[in-house]
Amino acid sequence: MSGQNDLLKMVQDGKPMTLGQQLRLTVELSIPAIISQISSILMQFIDASMVGSLGAGPSASIGLVSTTTWLFAGLSVACATGFYVQVSHLLGSKDTANARNVLRQSLVMSLIFSLTVCIIGCAVSWPLPRWLGGEEAIRHDASMYFLIFILSLPALQLNMLASGMLRSSGNMVTPSLLNVLMCLLDVIFNFFLIFPSRTVTFLGLDFFVPGAGLGVTGAAIGTALASVIVAAMLLHSLCVKSPELNLVQEKGSFRPTWQCFRNAIGIALPMGCERVIMCGAQIMSTVIIAPLGTIAIAANSFAITVESLCYMPGHGVSNAATTLVGQSIGAGRRDLTWRFAHISVWMGIAVMTVMGVVMYMTAPAMMGIMTPDMAVQELGAGILRIEAFAEPMYAASIVVYGVFVGVGDTLVPSIMNLASIWAVRLTLAAALAPKFGLQGVWIAMCAELCFRGIIFLIRLYRKKWLK
């Protein structure tokens, strides 16, 4: 940590950095961020695999509303980003007093936002599965899962805000470790909440294990409890222990100011609109897939979860890129901004290319972990192998987007994302699904992700975003 902090201080102080130091700092920030991202998706993987053991129906109920949960989670990400990018720039210019002021205001405004979104989510929780075209048999479980998720949204919002603030200060380790803890807590809670009381045999001995037998509802409650506990721990690390951002050393006002709100809106609004429209597109994909039946819905849901293990390392590198680029811009070092952007993007492409190869080779085994249903396993493995070919260019779009967020440039990248997913993915999916089924939908996804990566690389290397 001290070596990493010394390197970040070189960025802030305007000192020259060798290529080796730039690479080292990028790697040191990326590794814990990658661990954090993988642990978050592992939590979904655990939920899905534990529920998957109950059959295709419960799995499909979670898969049906998954894109909508991503929508609400994406809005929370956009809200948090609007504040922690400001803090990254302020810390880069060594203005810690104003960075703390932004943090105080962000806590109030983020809670107001998340509570508002929570009320909206609760209002749509019961009709949502019907709107998405889900079969009658899975609607109740789907509604309960979504309702419990949405009630825990304020905790998730604080989790994202605190994690982003810590990362902006260069502290990647604490949010990473606490997200791993959240994964472990989720396993423990699920173990007791999903399954009924039972006898477990271990090393030849029988043990009675109490259980609530809540199924899909138990999975949602377990995830919510883990999120609440870790959000409290992250806030303590941020507001009490952080050397740069702790709020104990000096008093300040929590009242939101127009300047902070305006800056946050400038960053978050394009991202929020993008998340709404992109998740709307993913919901449209769900509507396209729903008529294909329960097997297709379950296979699609499991495959998305497995693929997430492949692309989450890209998001980890993207988070590191946002921090490095944000602090470099704050320090007024555009030359260093470009070098960190270049290093981060190609590191992300390399990591996700390897992950794509691994996913192609292990697709049947991974689907076997997720569900005992052979039809779901076979269909899921096939579509994962289609998607493996998109991972290098998908990495490019993810990390380049993180670079643009670091400089506060979110409008044009958001438009690029929207144009790509609506004009390419949905058009192809609607055309291919009737003939090729779920495979057609994933062929469309693969083609769109490759297209998106290419256009993001073109914009990166034109360098207009640096201006």
245 or 68, greater pLDDT: 245
What is the per-residue pLDDT across 377-407, written as a single tens digit (0 to 9) for each? Answer: 888 899 999 999 999 999 999 999 989 988 8
The answer, yes or no, to whether residue 350 has pLDDT greater than 60, is yes
The model's pTM is: 0.77
To the nearest whole number, what is the mean pLDDT of the chain? 86
Residue 101 has a pLDDT of 94
- Average of per-residue pLDDT across 237-260: 89
The answer, yes or no, to whether residue 4 has pLDDT greater than 60, is no
What percent of the chain is predicted at pLDDT more than 90? 34
Those residues with Cβ within 8 angstroms of residue 178's Cβ, 6 or more apart along the chain or in another chain: 230, 233, 234, 237
What does the block give as tokens for 176? 């990473």
Residue 122 has a pLDDT of 94
Beta partners for 208?
199
In angstroms, the first-to-last Cα distance of the chain is: 32
- 247-259 exposure pattern, b = at least 16 Cβ within 10 A, e = fewer: beeeeeeeebeee
Q: How far apart are CA 465 and CA 228, in angstroms?
A: 38
- Average of per-residue pLDDT across 346-355: 92
273 or 413, greater pLDDT: 413
- Average of per-residue pLDDT across 72-88: 88
What is the per-residue pLDDT across 306-335, written as a single tens digit (0 to 9) for each? Answer: 887 788 888 888 888 888 888 888 878 888
